Chains A and B, each alone.
Chain A
Amino acid sequence: MKKTMIAMACWALLPLAAQEIKLPPNLEKLADKAHEVVDVTMDGALLQLAARFLSDKDPDEARIKKLVSGLKGIYVKSFEFENRGEYQESDLEPLRAQLKAPGWSRIVGVRSKRSGENAEVYLRSDNGGITGLAVIAAEPKELTIVQIIGPLQPEDLRDLGGHFGIPRVDVGRKNGKEE
C-alpha cells in the first residue's frame, strides 16, 4: 500500500520534473574556468516568498508580482570568461537535446558569424498555453542560460517590456534567423 502511494506520488510529480531542463554536468564544470559566475536558482516557494515583498502600489513591481504568482521556478546561470574559446559549441548540445523534447519549440534563433554570438529562445507549450521559457545566449566570452518554468502569458512578457530590463518579446516568431 505504502509503495503504491509513493509510486502514485512520483507519477503525479513526473510532469513537473519533466518540465525542468537540467544543466548538463559539462556546463556545470565551466564554472571552474569562468571569470565570473551568476547562479540564480529560485523554486516556486522562493518565488512566492519574493512575490510577498513586491509592492502592489509600484506598477512595475505589481506586474512582476503578477508574472511570478503562478511560476514554478526561475533558473539563471551565466558564465563570463576572460578569453574566447573557454567553452565549445558542443558543450551546449546536451542542453539543446533536452529542448528538443515534446512541448518545447524554438521560437527565435540568432546566429551572428561576425560577432560570434548565438542566441536561441525556446517556449514550452501545453494545452495551448505557454508553460516554460528557455534562453541560451552564447557569446565568445559569455554564456547565459535562462529557464522560466510555469504558466506565462504572452502579454505578460510584452507588458514587462522595459521593466526589470525585460524587453518586449515577439512570441509569434517561429523560425530561426541568421545574420
Chain B
Amino acid sequence: MNEPMDDLERQLVDALQRKEPSAGFEQRVLTAASRNVANRNKLPTWFGMPRLRWAAALAMPLVLIVAVEIRREAAERAAGEAAKARLQLALKITGEKLRKIQDQVNAGQDQ
C-alpha cells in the first residue's frame, strides 16, 4: 500500500523540484518580449497610417470649402426667392392698378 504512494510522491517531488534555467534563458525571454512589443506597434491603426494622415489633412480644407459653398448657395437661394416674391408683389400691385385704370377708361368709353 505504501509503495505506490512512495512512487507517486517521488514523481511529484521530481516534478516540483526547482530547476535552474538553462544558460541565456533570461536573455531569450527579454528578446522575445521586446519583439512582441515592436510587432504590436506595427499594427495598422487608422490614423497611424501615414497615407491616411495625409489624405485626412487634404480632405479637411476640401470639406470646409464644400460646406462654405453649400452655405453660400443656401443664402443666395433664400435671397433669390425673397427677391422673386418682391418682384411678384410689385408686379401684382402694378397689374391691379393698371387693370383698374383700364376698367375706368373702358367704362368712360362705354358711356
Could you list which residues of chain A lie within 8 angstroms of chain B, going by C-beta atoms? 38, 40, 42, 46-47, 49-50, 52-54, 64, 68, 74-76, 78, 108, 110, 112, 117, 119, 121, 135, 137, 144, 146, 148, 160, 163-170, 173, 177-179
Contacts and interface: CB of A to CB of B under 8 A. Distances in A.
Interface stretch (B29-37, B59-67, B79-87): B79-87
17 contacts: A47-B87, A49-B79, A49-B83, A53-B81, A64-B87, A110-B104, A110-B105, A121-B98, A137-B100, A146-B93, A148-B94, A165-B96, A166-B91, A167-B99, A170-B105, A177-B108, A178-B108
A117 B109 CA distance: 17
A54 B84 contact: yes
Most buried by A among B94, B96, B111: B94
B38 interface: no
Q: Give the secondary structure class of B's interface.
A: helix
Given A46-B86, A112-B104, A163-B95, 9 more contacts: A64-B87, A76-B89, A76-B93, A78-B93, A121-B101, A137-B101, A166-B91, A166-B95, A177-B104
B90 A74 contact: yes
B102 interface: yes
A179 B109 CA distance: 9
B92 interface: yes
A49 B80 contact: yes
A173 B81 CA distance: 36
Given A121-B98, A137-B97, A137-B100, A164 B91 contact: yes
B88 interface: yes
* Shortest Cβ-Cβ A-B pairs, 10 listed: A165-B95, A166-B95, A167-B99, A50-B83, A53-B80, A164-B91, A40-B90, A50-B87, A137-B97, A110-B104
Interface string B43-80: 00000000000000000000000000000000001011
Given A38-B89, A50-B84, A53-B84, A168 B100 contact: no
B91 A64 contact: yes
B107 interface: yes
Nearest to B81: A53
Given A42-B86, A179-B107, A108 B94 contact: no
Contacts of B101: 108, 110, 119, 121, 135, 137
Contacts of A108: 101, 105
Given A117-B104, A167-B102, A50 B97 contact: no
Contact of B108 (A38, A64, A179): A179
Most buried by A among B79, B100, B101: B101
